[in-house]
């Protein structure tokens, strides 16, 4: 028989759930040099082959999209910690999945 007291999720549990559904993205205000630097850095640390022509995340073929994908790959591979999305203050942690078509961010 159930005890009648409801359990409220703890802050730690809620934080953990939120971290599981977050993604990294480039700030729209980032300049081209910063975006290119983010792509170069992230892709030197993780496999960015999905960004190659003909692969699932090539389109749209622009710096903002490619930087966001590269930064997210890095963020996801490093444990989804906010500091893994800083990129000299040009990254954002977002809760909405930016996946599109066959290009998955998760």
102 within domain boundaries = no
Both structure tokens of 54: 């003909």
3 within domain boundaries = no
List CB contacts of 45: < 8 A, sequence separation 6 or more: 74, 77
81 within domain boundaries = yes
Both structure tokens of 35: 């975006």
9 within domain boundaries = no
Q: Write out the residue range of the structural domain in which residue 53 sits.
A: 23-94
Report how many domains make up the chain: 1
28 within domain boundaries = yes
39 within domain boundaries = yes
106 within domain boundaries = no
Q: What is the predicted pLDDT for the residue at 4?
A: 53
Do 51 and 66 meet the contact criterion of CB atoms below 8 Å apart? yes
C-alpha to C-alpha distance for 79 and 75, rounded to whole angstroms:
7
* pLDDT tens digits, one per residue of 20-77: 458 999 999 999 999 999 999 999 999 999 999 999 999 999 999 999 999 999 999 9
90 within domain boundaries = yes
pTM: predicted TM-score of the whole model, two decimal places: 0.79
């Amino acid at each position: 028989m159930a005890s009648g007291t409801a359990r409220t999720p703890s802050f730690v549990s809620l934080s953990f759930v939120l971290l599981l559904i977050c993604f990294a993205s480039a700030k729209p205000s980032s300049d081209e040099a910063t975006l290119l630097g983010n792509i170069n850095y992230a892709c030197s640390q993780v496999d960015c082959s999905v960004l190659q022509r003909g692969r699932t995340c090539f389109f749209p073929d622009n710096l903002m999209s490619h930087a966001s994908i590269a930064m997210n790959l890095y963020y996801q591979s490093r444990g989804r910690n906010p500091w893994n999305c800083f990129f000299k203050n040009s990254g954002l942690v977002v809760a909405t999945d930016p996946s599109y078509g066959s290009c998955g961010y998760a």
